[in-house]
Amino acid sequence: MNRKLSSRISVVATAAVAGVLIPLAGTSYAAGCNSTGCDNKGPVTMGCNDQYTTTARTVNNNGRIAELRWSSTCDAAWVRVHNESSNPVYNAYGYIEKYSTSGAFIKSLSVRVPDSGSDWSNMLGGASYNYRVCISFVGNEYPLKCSTKF
């Protein structure tokens, strides 16, 4: 009789431990930062550029493309840039700008648009902020062009 009771207690204890640990097995903790803790950190190195990343806004300024990338995993944004122009003579930069909900400018980060391929800036984080991306040219050959805020 005592042996049966001991066996039942063991089964119940094992089930309780398994019930606590099994939900953790499928949870991903790959992101290295979250929200404002992602400010000025790389989206790839922090694990924020994953399957939950979306392109929230895009701006095209004479073949130089800036995409506002948003990571719901990290609650952070960055600008990804690439060049679709056949004339890479003019140097251009992509910017991401962070604003408070009242519209006050907080901070921006930039990245040079490469002649080929793509590149990206570090991130600015926080879901309670607004963001936009812009393309500007070093010699002001073309006017500044920005997306709407996201």
- Greater confidence (47 vs 4) lies with 47
For the cut 90, the answer to whether the pLDDT of residue 17 exceeds it is: no
Q: How much is the pLDDT for 129?
A: 97
E strands of the chain, at which residues?
53-61, 64-71, 76-83, 92-99, 105-112, 118-120, 124-125, 130-137, 145-146
pLDDT in tens, 18-44: 443 333 333 345 689 999 999 999 999
Q: What is the mean pLDDT of the chain?
A: 84
Q: Please state, in angstroms and rounded to a whole number, the distance separating the CA atoms of residues 42 and 85.
A: 26
Are 66 and 133 in contact, with CB atoms under 8 Å apart? yes
CATH number of 35-146: 2.60.40
Q: Please state, in angstroms and rounded to a whole number, the distance separating the CA atoms of residues 80 and 100.
A: 22
Region 105-134 average pLDDT: 95
Rounded to the nearest 5 percent, the helix, strand and coil shares of the chain are: 20, 35, 45
Q: How much is the pLDDT for 88?
A: 67
Tokens 């408070």 correspond to what residue?
100
Q: How much is the pLDDT for 106?
A: 97
Region 140-148 average pLDDT: 92
Are 120 and 114 in contact, with CB atoms under 8 Å apart? no
* Residue ranges of domains in the chain: 35-146
The answer to which of 31-40, 88-97, 117-126 has the lowest mean pLDDT is 88-97
Q: What is the pTM of this model?
A: 0.77
